[in-house]
Structure 1
Amino acid sequence: MPTALPPEGWQWSSLTEIARLESGHTPSRKYREYWGGNIPWIGIQDARANDGKCIQYTQETTNELGIENSSARVLPENTVCLSRTASVGYVVVMGRPMATSQDFLNWVCSSHLAPDFLKYLFMAEGEGLLRFASGAVHQTIYFPEAKAFHICHPRLPEQHRIVAILDKAFDGIATAKANAENNLRNARALFESHLQVVFTDAWEAGQLVRLADLATDITDGDHMPPPKVASGVPFITIGNIAKDYRTINFSDTFMVPREYFDSLKPNKKPRAGDVLYTVTGSFGIPVLVKERREFCFQRHIGLIRPKSDLHSEWLYYLLMSPQVVRQAHDGATGTAQKTVSLKVLRGFKVPRIPLANQEVAVAKLNTLATATQRLESIYQQKLIAFDDLKKSLLHKALSGKL
């Protein structure tokens, strides 16, 4: 924790002087009889879902047999649990007696420390807690480091006053954030609803054909691992596809030699007007190629090059339509990573409608998409502002400025 001079009326204390540190444990999963019962058991998944909250229920429970046959123990209500490994920094407060996994540092507060004040201290530290962590595979806060924690705190009445202010402010922020998230969902739902109407009409009016009938090429990227160089032609992977915005992020690609790019077939060199389509893992994301720049792509991405009577943007929206999304999910195969094969992609049943009709629909969809993106940007900025406000309030409160 920080070493600055404390605000007036505050003092530095070793955390172990005013709170008892307890470890957690996981009863053996070899024995089903240790699991299921009336003792809530906090795992990392519970901390992620309830970060910063008082937790009453958990995804898993154990029982007296599980406690007796392991190092797990039931800790009292108001114990403050801080995740210490893999995902460092999640914090919850027990709403009733519970046990935890070994992934937590559990603090049982004395009468000199309000549990919610300690919770807010940990929340204020945030990523700063990582300076206490070490480990090659997973960053972990080990118990010697945890026992060295020091905190700056006022007397108990002032702790309660600060907690009351933060509780009220955070409740208000949570309500406002929930409203912004709901508005964001509504904006996206409005666009998706219009998209469905447009393509329902197209399916009724158009002649159903295979997607391959509307394209000059449907292919995927090179199947051989490409050579890498410091400077060359960008090589796009699924990781470079921004799922929410259906765009390509060129800022973090690796490069391949010019000779490698030149050796590729023309239909494996994207050009403006093509539509890329992810086919493995996060499959079903279309990206309209607008950039007039050279790049190539991996085999987990498909390329669809439309014929002259198929509007590129119509094809882009068509691949987003619920009718095509359903075919992609029905046709995807594989267990570890679902894949839409080129055969399935080429065989999508889609409507053929006149180019003039495509252009009218595209104009309407573009207008609505622009409005939706503007609203999304506004709501995303609000969500960022809410998070910044929480950080600011925590900093002020826990530096004696409230």
Structure 2
Amino acid sequence: MSTSPALAEAQARGLIKDVTDLSGLEAAMQSSISAYAGFDPTAGSLHIGHLAPIMLLRLLARHGHRPIAIAGGVTAQIGDPSGRTEARALLSPSEIDRNLARITEQLEALLGQHTPVLDNSRWLGQALMPAFLREIAPHFSVSRMLSAESVSERLDSCKGISALEFFYPLLQAADFLTLFRREGCVLQIGGSDQWSNILGGIELIRRVEGAKAFGLTQPLVTTANGAKMGKTASGAVWLDAGMTDDQAFFQFWRNTDDADVGRFLRLFTEIPLAKIAELETVTGSGLNAVKERLAREVTRLVRGPAAAEKALTSARALFSGEGAASADLQAIEVGSAELAAGLSLAAVLHRAGLADSRGAARRLIQNGGVRIDGKKVDDPGAELLPAIDGQTVSVGKKRHARLLIRS
């Protein structure tokens, strides 16, 4: 067991994969330290894959340490090659600015007013780049950068890697050095694919400042069936309610596989570990209440108490059969013109992410797995009629949405 209460709890919750120097970090954490995690604004919202570092930053704060979040306005202009088989599409400056503003709001809401959220353009801006290159670049050898897993894998593939992406680890190391100097930050947190980048920052601090710093990586969170956490047939599960509505967000957690419930309670909630151990003893139909607790806790954290209670009420109405029509469901919008031209139910199920393909949707219908307003649909080629406006489509027992006609 770790001698640091914060590390001990983080380990027990499954929030840690590797630490560069565990005994050294334990010693440093006998007093308060500053730690940071970076979030590049490559989309208009964070998604639930970002919750693991957020939960660790919150845990550190509860134990008296000082978390810092970086919203990478500059690093987003390049794109981290780690864990990717090809380069990200480059965003325009206006897109990055919009994304930056939104994820900054999300981080501030999730981490609280005492956690600074900093934009690295404050120290990596265009005017500062020549000085950055003179100070930082001499400490990085090309041979070492080529040996990084994210680089070597891309070089071995037919995709290759651009000089722009190749430059990314230097920027991340510069972030760590800057935070060490300005904020006394000695710990960087990242995903397991960030190990090489984190080591670069630690080595830079050692060379330039002659000081000790630490790195901590987190495991890639996957579901019981091996799928990457937060990926569904319709794409990522976003923290922004405008991109994934409250009911769909709640339902994602409510539909957690039985084998994942205890692990997700530890990773994504702040329920005490002793209580989680108690909840893990629940079996059979009682697991539904535990899944509700998981969904309620995560939705409350991300969307607020009112959204969590409303989603819970709607979900209970659906599962009890006591008025699905009143539930606040994900909307599937159908154009009146395409409806008039002939639109199959299978196509709509695929579009809404309720089936992986049109063929899969037709098989679901044929096997009796689809209902509209509680009535089973048995024709795989069924087309939607104008009367569907406002009706509820259900796939199995757990996935529901409302069909809406729009001009």
TM-score range, shorter chain: under 0.3
Q: Which has the higher helix share?
A: 2
TM norm structure 1: 0.21
Structure index of larger Rg: 1
Q: Which has the higher strand share?
A: 1
TM norm structure 2: 0.21
